[in-house]
Structure 1
Amino acid sequence: MGDLIAEAVEAVRARPRTALTALGIALGIAALVATIGLTGTAAAQLSARFDALKATTVTLHGLSEDETGEVGRVERLNGVVAAGVVSAASGELPTVRASGGPPVETVVMSASASALRALNVRPVSGRAYQDDTDRGRQVALLGDIAARSLGIDHPNTEISISGVTYRLIGIVTTPELDSQAPLAAIIPDWASAKRIDFGEPQLVIKTRLGAAQQVGREAKVALRPQAPDTLPAEIPPDPRHLRAQVETDARDLFLLMAAVSLLVGALSVANTMLIAVLERRHEIGLRRAVGATRGAILTQFLIESGLLGLAGGIVGGIAGLDVVIAVALAKGWTAAISGWVLAAAPLTGLLVGLSAGLHPAVRAGRMEPLTALAT
């Protein structure tokens, strides 16, 4: 066996073109290691990157007038940051007019002061209204996009909403991409709103990260204890499950790409070994004539293809690790890759090389001495 290994090593060294085929396996192994390492590293950072607003917002629909007055019960639940009632104008859009400007059809929302906190509404200029200082006053807010459409660039002016005058005290926005707040005129729930028909009220609850599932269940019981399941609720998925799903989907996609690269490398080794068998017919015939068995010939070619795969696995594992570290450093992450992945890379390359070289090795072992020497 030692002689066969030495001959196989010498055969690979003597044919640089054959050795280059190991690069195909190296690329596949590098892609495999990098994929597993990067998905693991990204998963470790996903919690910090997760959209906390969507992961911490619960919405209850179909509240009765009595239930909207019991928001305090929900605010006292463990894990609740803020909760408030929001209603949007239904039917045709109301008109909003700045001083001296034309009327513009605009989304109008009625929201309690606590609802502004639950919606993560933030002032761009001016301020938001407060329960203690502004209650009873005809004040309003404008989303930043709505303010631009009305030609308003600063608060402390008067606007008209469906013929009712309000004091604009703030221009606001929100980081939530699908929120209507930037497009809307927002008035407090105590303000007079003639000729505006508001739709059903919704209770918006902002929770601490990871508490949305629990708060969603408990809020329904707090507001409608006799029949909590009849209260429709929008509860975001558990971020841990969503993270696992995203990680799995990303890993599956990239592992498929890595498998394709590995398959291309295996086919390259198989093709190169098959060509090597044809080029070395005389060598095979001479060795068979002086007593080499079929098994010895087959074993030598398997060793050669295995060496190519092993070299590709080692190089690919190192290259994949370098990619993971480079990406982690560029992103400011902490690289996370299991030791078993690096240990499995050379073994995987060896198995791929052996599999790719099996057919050429069998073909070489079946050559008859006279036939091989005569061609």
Structure 2
Amino acid sequence: MTLPNRRPDPAGPPPRLRSSRLSPRDVLGLGAVGLRARRARVVLSALGIALGIATMVAVVGLSQSSKSDLMARLDRLGTNLLTVEAGKDAQGQEVKLPKSAVAMVERIGPVQHATATANVDARIRRSDVVPEERTAGVTAQAARTDLLTALNAQVAEGTWLNSANEHLPVTVLGSIAAQRLGVTEPGEMITINDEHVVVVGILRPVELVPTLDRVALVGFPAAETYFRFDGHPSMIFERSPDATVESVRAVLARTVSPGAEGSVKVSRPSDALAAKAATDKGLTTLMLGLGAVALLVGGVGVANTMVVSVLERRQEIGLRRAIGATKGAIRLQFLTESLLLSALGGATGAVLGAAATAGFAFAQGWTAVVPPWSLAVGFAATLVIGVLAGLYPAVRASRLHPTVALNAT
């Protein structure tokens, strides 16, 4: 059985029209069309966003890379080194540590290693023809043969002091001391007071105790024999397990100087490196602020681009409104354009920031570290900027009356 064809009743009400919804793909397509039509302006606007994000990502990346390198150095050098240095008493007089100070420190249970250096009153010159007042800023110190082991230091060239030469007029120069004296290799001679001394070694930079880079080190017995050294150490270096560092630190002063522990100073060299990392936070905060300003300027550029786009495309807006586009569709189109423009700048900035971090870290010999959260936060910030920058132009575009927009010239 066939049903008769039914035609709509001409006298009845017209069929109800339903507004069509734009799919996400259509929305992205409309937004991309608007950007492709003004490529030069889009590139310049996106560049402002990119610079802000690149600055922020690079600052965070370089800060983390530097911190990572510092932590690696501390792990390599050890954070369990403590030093005891002679100070002054209540009358302001120099205090001398006991000659047996190293042996006293070694009696502390957890101590694994103890050694010492001592200041030597001597003038150091490249040769005896150099005037006595020209010492090149290099001082002399006596050192025990186990000093390098305690400091995790290394000899760059030549050899270190040992039981065979610590009694002889020989020296090992710190890295800066060798440069200042013009000594380039072991075997050369310098003058300490009026004594000709053979350079047997040159140290690599000592990171935990950088003052040793500027001294000429001689053995304790040689210092007593040739330079009138009295045998009292000036600084003691001690290592103990990490878990016992604080407990050893609490008793070091009264062990070395019983009854006058206030006249000696106990310090932890690794604390100075950690403090350096802390002081870098101020500069990092400043640079992040500059990156935020650049990002804000980029957002203003995006807003300006979108406002101009609305003014230039009023006829397009009027035509779309005349054929049925809703105010919401117009707002969504221009808001999408703003988001795409900001996202383009954000993605570009993230890549530039990561590349800048990697390049600088490679030049410094660091391991490049770019925290994923910095990329995520940077990109999220661009989307927020895109919404804020595109909101007013989108609302303005949606409020244009079709007739006014079509009549615009």
Structure-1-length-normalised TM-score: 0.70
Alignment of 1:234-253 (within 5 A): 234-238=267-271, 241-242=274-275, 245=278, 248-249=281-282, 251-253=284-286
C-alpha contact 2:186 2:202 (8 A) present in aligned 1: no
The sequence identity of aligned pairs, in percent, is 32
Q: Report whether the alignment pairs 1:224 with 2:257.
A: yes
Structure 1 position 15, deviation (Å): 3.6
Q: Report whether the alignment pairs 1:179 with 2:211.
A: yes
One-letter code aligned to 2:85: L
Q: Report whether the alignment pairs 1:351 with 2:375.
A: no
Shift in CA distance, 53/28, structure 1 to aligned 2, threshold 3 Å? same
Alignment of 1:21-170 (within 5 A): 21-49=45-73, 56=81, 58-62=83-87, 64-65=95-96, 67-75=98-106, 77=108, 78=110, 81-89=113-121, 94=123, 101=129, 104-105=132-133, 106=135, 109=140, 111-114=142-145, 117=148, 122=155, 128=161, 130=163, 139=169, 141=171, 143=173, 145=177, 161=193, 168=197, 170=199
Structure 1 position 115, deviation (Å): 7.7
The residue number in structure 1 matching 2:6 is none
Q: Report whether the alignment pairs 1:272 with 2:305.
A: yes
Structure 1 position 124, deviation (Å): 5.1
Structure 1 position 86, deviation (Å): 0.8
C-alpha contact 1:298 1:364 (8 A) present in aligned 2: yes
Alignment of 1:284-323 (within 5 A): 284-287=317-320, 295-318=328-351, 320-321=353-354
One-letter code aligned to 1:72: A
Shift in CA distance, 121/113, structure 1 to aligned 2, threshold 3 Å? farther
Structure 1 position 323, deviation (Å): 5.5
The residue number in structure 2 matching 1:204 is 236
Shift in CA distance, 115/87, structure 1 to aligned 2, threshold 3 Å? farther
3-state secondary structure, aligned to 2:71: helix
Q: Deviations over 1:8-57 (max 9, x none)?
A: 34333444345433344344434444444444344333333459779746
Q: RMSD of aligned C-alpha atoms?
A: 4.9
- Worse-matched range after superposition: 54-63 or 254-263: 54-63
Structure 1 position 255, deviation (Å): 3.0
3-state secondary structure, aligned to 2:103: helix
Please give the alpha-carbon distance, in whole angstroms, between the structure 1 residues aligned to 2:182 and 2:303.
Answer: 70
Residue of structure 2 aligned with 1:10, choices 33, 50, 56: 33
C-alpha contact 1:80 1:205 (8 A) present in aligned 2: no
Number of paired residues? 364
Q: Deviations over 1:35-82 (max 9, x none)?
A: 444443443333334597797462412385563422212245546544
One-letter code aligned to 2:132: V
Shift in CA distance, 235/37, structure 1 to aligned 2, threshold 3 Å? closer
Q: Deviations over 1:182-230 (max 9, x none)?
A: 5557463662467x79899522315479799645444214213545444
One-letter code aligned to 2:83: V
- Worse-matched range after superposition: 336-345 or 295-304: 336-345
Please give the alpha-carbon distance, in whole angstroms, between the structure 2 residues aligned to 1:158 and 1:284.
Answer: 87
C-alpha contact 2:49 2:299 (8 A) present in aligned 1: yes
Shift in CA distance, 293/79, structure 1 to aligned 2, threshold 3 Å? farther
Structure 1 position 305, deviation (Å): 0.7
Please give the alpha-carbon distance, in whole angstroms, between the structure 2 residues aligned to 1:160 and 1:283.
Answer: 89
Please give the alpha-carbon distance, in whole angstroms, between the structure 2 residues aligned to 1:150 and 1:45.
Answer: 31
- Worse-matched range after superposition: 323-332 or 303-312: 323-332
